[in-house]
C-alpha cells in the first residue's frame, strides 16, 4: 500500500528480489503482484514532500529525543531554536538585549530542532564553530529549519559532559542550567528505537540498520534505501563469517591420547 502511494506521488519504486537484485516498477500492477519488499532511491526520497513530512514529525517527540540525546554514550550535539509561538518573541535577540529587558533564557521557550553525532574531534569551541559553519553553509538534507543564528542554543555532549551555548552576535556564550542537571534518573522513560539513534528519523547515519529492521520498515509501508539494504546484507554476511571463525579459534584443541582397549570391551556398531 505504501509503495503504491509513493508510486502515485511520482517517486521511482523498485521491486527488491530475494537474490538481492532490484527492478524498476513501470506499472502499479507490478506492485500489486509482488508480495515482497520495495525500495526507493535515497536522493529522490530526500527531495520528496513525504520526506519533509517525516522530518516535521520529529517535532512531536521533543521529550523522547532529548532523552535519547542525553543518554548517548558517544559525542553528539543538539540544536534548539526559539519556538515560533514564544510569548516573549526573543528570536534573533542577543544576550545584551535579553539582559536589558530582564529576560532569561528558558528551555520552555525553545524547541529541539536537530540532534546528531559529532563527526569530528576537537574542543568545544572548535565544535561550535564547525557546527555554525555547517548549519549555515552545508546544512544536512534533513535539517528543514532556519540556518543557525542568534538566539539558537547548541548543546554539546563530549566525553560524557553536556554544555549548552547561546549563539550570540559574536561567538557563543555558555548557558548553565538550560538542560536539567541529572535527567537520566527517570528509568521508566520509554525510548523508542528510532530515538535511540539520536536524531530519531531518517538516514542520519548514527545507527546501521539490520536486514530484519529494513524488512520490517518495508512491511509497515515505509520506504527503504536499496543501498542500506545491500550494505546490511553484506555486513551481516561478514559478521556471520567472523563469528564462525571466532568460534573455531575459541574451541580447545582436543588431546589425542591412545589407550589400549580392554579385552572385555564390546565393539560398538
Do 48 and 83 sit in the same domain of this protein?
no
Residue 142 CB coordination number (10 Å) = 18
**What is the extent of the structural domain holding 131?**
72-181
Mean pLDDT for 134-138 is 93
pLDDT at 263 > cutoff 60: no
pLDDT above 70: percentage of residues in the chain: 64
pLDDT above 90: percentage of residues in the chain: 30
- Condensed to tens digits (0 to 9), the pLDDT of residues 51-70 reads 666 655 655 677 788 888 99
Residue 146 CB coordination number (10 Å) = 14
| Locus of grid cell 561478514 | 238
Do 45 and 107 sit in the same domain of this protein?
no
C-alpha cell at 203: 538516514
Name the 3-class secondary structure at 110.
strand
Mean pLDDT for 101-121 is 90
Name the 3-class secondary structure at 59.
helix
- Condensed to tens digits (0 to 9), the pLDDT of residues 204-214 reads 444 577 877 77
Do 172 and 100 sit in the same domain of this protein?
yes
* Radius of gyration for the alpha carbons in the chain, expressed in angstroms and rounded: 26
Higher pLDDT, 76 or 7: 76
Specify if 266 maps to a domain.
Answer: no
Specify if 66 maps to a domain.
Answer: no
Specify if 48 maps to a domain.
Answer: yes
Higher pLDDT, 143 or 98: 98
Q: How many domains does the chain have?
A: 2
Specify if 62 maps to a domain.
Answer: no
Amino acid at each position: 500500500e505504501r509503495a503504491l502511494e509513493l508510486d502515485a506521488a511520482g517517486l521511482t519504486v523498485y521491486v527488491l528480489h530475494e537474490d538481492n537484485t532490484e527492478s524498476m516498477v513501470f506499472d502499479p500492477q507490478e506492485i500489486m503482484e509482488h508480495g515482497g519488499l520495495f525500495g526507493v532511491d535515497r536522493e529522490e526520497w530526500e527531495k520528496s514532500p513525504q520526506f519533509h513530512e517525516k522530518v516535521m514529525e520529529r517535532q512531536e517527540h521533543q521529550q523522547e529525543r532529548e532523552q535519547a540525546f542525553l543518554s548517548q554514550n558517544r559525542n553528539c550535539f543538539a540544536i534548539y531554536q526559539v519556538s515560533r509561538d514564544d510569548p516573549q518573541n526573543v528570536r534573533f535577540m542577543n544576550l545584551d538585549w535579553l539582559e536589558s529587558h530582564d529576560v532569561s533564557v528558558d528551555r520552555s521557550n525553545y524547541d529541539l530542532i536537530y540532534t546528531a553525532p559529532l563527526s569530528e574531534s576537537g574542543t568545544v569551541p572548535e565544535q561550535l564553530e564547525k557546527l555554525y559553519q555547517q548549519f549555515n553553509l552545508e546544512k544536512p538534507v534533513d535539517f528543514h529549519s532556519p540556518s543557525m543564528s542568534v538566539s539558537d542554543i547548541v548543546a554539546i555532549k563530549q566525553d560524557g559532559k553536556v554544555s549548552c551555548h547561546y549563539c550570540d552576535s559574536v561567538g557563543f556564550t555558555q548557558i548553565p542550567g538550560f538542560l536539567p542537571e541529572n535527567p537520566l534518573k527517570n528509568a521508566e522513560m520509554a525510548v523508542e528505537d528510532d530515538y535511540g539513534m539520536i536524531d530519531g528519523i531518517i538516514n542520519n547515519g548514527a545507527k546501521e540498520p539490520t536486514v530484519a529492521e529494513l524488512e520490517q520498515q518495508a512491511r509497515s509501508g515505509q520506504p527503504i534505501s536499496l543501498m542500506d539494504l545491500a550494505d546490511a546484507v553484506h555486513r551481516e554476511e561478514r559478521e556471520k563469517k567472523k563469528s564462525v571463525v571466532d568460534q573455531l579459534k575459541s574451541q580447545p584443541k582436543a588431546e589425542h591420547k591412545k589407550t589400549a582397549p580392554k579385552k572385555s570391551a564390546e565393539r560398538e556398531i
